[in-house]
Amino acid sequence: MKSTGRLLLLALLAAGIALAVIYRDRFDVAALEAWIGEAGAVAPLAFMALYAIAAVLFLPGSVMTLAGGALFGPVLGTFYNLTGATLGAALAFLVARYLASDWVARRTGGRLKQLIQGVEAEGWRFVAFVRLVPLFPFNLLNYALGLTRIRFLHYLIATWICMLPGALAYTYLGYAGREAVAGGEGLIQKGLLALALLAVVAFLPRLIAIIRKGKLLPTDELKRRLDAGEDLLLLDVRKPEDYHGELGHISGAVNIPLEELPQRLDELGEYQERPVATVCRTDRMSAAAARLLVQQGFADVHVVRKGMVSWNQQGYPVEK
């Protein structure tokens, strides 16, 4: 019975997406304004329901967001846009979880399984990251996250809160566009504010990258932790000739060159939830390695401050 329900839901979803693709060219801001304008008092509810359906059927959310700003203004428009988008994200998440999460859990292995486990370990933090950084395809991401075991409530709250900056910026852009067409007052100020909001959204990826950069670990603190026998992976990301070269390497350090790290992450799977310290000559390559590890779901990553240069200046022992 359950498999029949899944097949029926899958067929309905496929038919809906096919229709959405066929009539995609009719889905624009002007058409939306005409449809919603005829809804009268229930226009906000109709708009949010339509936004949710659009998210499930892979229709462009930007069209809905601009229309929301034009129809309801910057404040109510942001609320309606954000709520409709979150409802759509929730529906897609639940559909994917119902249809295929058990199958994915049984069938995946190797690198893909580690990737999913990394996302699940990050939980709401991963959801917050991908919502704040508008570089990930929204509609597809909703389904992909439904295949993980991230808690639904965490997903829902992080989605609503962390999509707020982008929703506000694009809603205001839709509102400013309508005002420009109508010849309203203060067009220059409204246009500049819309551009400022878009600039903030465009800066978010850089800001999040800074926030997610591995924490700096002074060499004296690293020495203390190693001497205490802590279960810490010391990852040296220099090339082998540098690892065995003039500055030497710290005893017990695992050498995986930075350029090989993306292909060799499987070797570090047991440290997904345990402390990892990256080290290089200074801390440029090790910072890049830390960012990569964080993006792949490693939960406790540190960058050794000034790397092997500082370690040698302190007179700590090395192997060559």
User: Over the stretch 106-162, which tens digit does the pLDDT of each residue have?
Assistant: 777 766 676 677 677 778 878 888 887 766 788 999 999 999 989 999 999 999 998
Q: Residues 61, 181: one domain? A: yes
Q: Residues 92, 239: one domain? A: no
Distances from the Cα of 80 to the Cα of 35, 64, 66, 77, 133, angstroms: 16, 10, 12, 5, 21
In angstroms, rounded to a whole number, what is the distance separating the alpha carbons of residues 26 and 14?
A: 19
Q: Residues 177, 237: one domain? A: no
Predicted pLDDT at 269 = 80
Q: Residues 249, 150: one domain? A: no
In angstroms, rounded to a whole number, what is the distance separating the alpha carbons of residues 268 and 299?
A: 12
Residues 6+ apart with CB under 8 A from 25: none
Higher pLDDT: 98 or 295? It is 98
Average pLDDT, the chain: 85
Mean pLDDT, residues 253-258 = 96
Distances from the Cα of 281 to the Cα of 140, 180, 256, angstroms: 40, 55, 14
Q: Residues 30, 84: one domain? A: yes
Higher pLDDT: 319 or 131? It is 319
Structural domain range at position 227: 215-313
Where among 158, 181, 209 does a domain terminate? 209
Percent of the chain with pLDDT over 70: 85
Q: Residues 83, 144: one domain? A: yes
Where among 168, 184, 209 does a domain terminate? 209
Question: Structural domain tally of the chain?
Answer: 2
Quickly state the pLDDT bin for 92 (edges 50, 70, 90): very high
Predicted pLDDT at 247 = 95
Residue 49 has pLDDT above 90, yes or no: yes
User: Over the stretch 154-185, which tens digit does the pLDDT of each residue have?
Assistant: 999 999 998 998 888 889 888 887 767 655 55
- Within-domain flag for 320: no
- Within-domain flag for 225: yes
Q: Residues 203, 278: one domain? A: no
- Within-domain flag for 318: no
Q: Residues 199, 231: one domain? A: no
- Within-domain flag for 6: yes
For the domain that residue 233 is a member of, what is the CATH number?
Answer: 3.40.250.10
pTM above 0.85, yes or no: no
Q: Residues 43, 189: one domain? A: yes
Most confidently modeled range among 21-25, 146-150, 202-206, 308-312: 308-312
Q: Residues 179, 250: one domain? A: no
- Within-domain flag for 319: no
Q: Residues 49, 151: one domain? A: yes
Q: Residues 199, 263: one domain? A: no
Where among 178, 209, 240 does a domain terminate? 209
Which of 25-39, 76-90, 104-118, 300-314 shows the lowest per-residue confidence on average (mean pLDDT)? 104-118
Mean pLDDT, residues 307-315 = 96
Location of structure tokens 């670990």: 217
